[in-house]
Structure 1
């Protein structure tokens, strides 16, 4: 059975921090992007494939296919899950995917979002989803890179 070594929210998906710091820190060897838009866009998929270091496997799924993959996975890999929003992870949890921890890494400013913590922004709906994820038994923390001190999201929701 594969092991999820990192489940990260980052609206940029694959970028330098993920590729260097988090891959090295976790020992991950298989990146799984869960994003409906990317899964349907051949050009975006090609760009993502070109961003992955040699020797690291990449899969790109929509939510339903990702849930099926994660529930039925029988490989022996170290998985890094990447999604743009907390709603994706909550949908996976509702479909029966067990996640011990989710790291909030990159949620930039956008319409309906306000400052949540340092350079992390979240909408009121996203904050509600954070709470639902935590209530479902998954811990959440903000941590941009592995060398940063993490901050528990539950303490930021009050």
Structure 2
């Protein structure tokens, strides 16, 4: 069983806040970005590598590759999975990735979305993915940084 210490939805993927605060908070030594576009974009990968803390490895896998290889992870790898959208997390869970809890950190406002929490904007597809994750037994948490209390998860469904 892979040692997944945190799964986070953040449309910025790896950035200073993720790398410094969350990695140290959960003790991660590997950040796995599960994202089809970034897996094929060496330029974005190298930019994100610069934001990763010293001593923390990075991997950039497609969703499918993540599903196929996550169970081969060494137990000493403390894996922090970062996804862009709730639909991506849902695909991982339905593909057999043993994600028990999802931290919802940052989902930017965009056309067709509504602001539901400090840093979270959703559309109907996002809400459907969150509902399905809950049905599959995944705990959801809205929290920007580890030092702040979680926000009320019911905000997602209003």
> Would you say same fold, with TM above 0.5?
yes
Task: Tell me the distance in 2 between the aligned counterparts of 1:70 and 1:112.
Answer: 33
* Counterpart position of 2:70: 70
Gaps of 5+ in 2: none
Q: CA 1:138 to 1:13, structure 2 compared with 1: closer, same or farther past 3 Å?
A: same
* Counterpart position of 2:55: 55
Task: Tell me the distance in 1 between the aligned counterparts of 2:97 and 2:152.
Answer: 21
Report the Cα offset of residue 115 of structure 1: 0.8
Pairs aligned (count) = 158
Cα pair 1:131 1:154 within 8 Å, conserved: no
Cα pair 2:104 2:142 within 8 Å, conserved: yes
- Which is further off, 148-157 or 43-52? 148-157
Report the Cα offset of residue 85 of structure 1: 0.3
* Counterpart position of 1:97: 97
RMSD: 1.5
Task: Tell me the distance in 2 between the aligned counterparts of 1:132 and 1:15.
Answer: 28
The reply to whether residue 150 of structure 1 matches residue 154 of structure 2 is: no
Task: Tell me the distance in 2 between the aligned counterparts of 1:23 and 1:31.
Answer: 8
Give TM-score scaled by structure 2 length. Answer: 0.93
Report the Cα offset of residue 55 of structure 1: 1.0
Gaps of 5+ in 1: none
- 1:33-44 to 2 correspondence within 5 Å? 33-44=33-44
Task: Tell me the distance in 1 between the aligned counterparts of 2:136 and 2:2.
Answer: 22
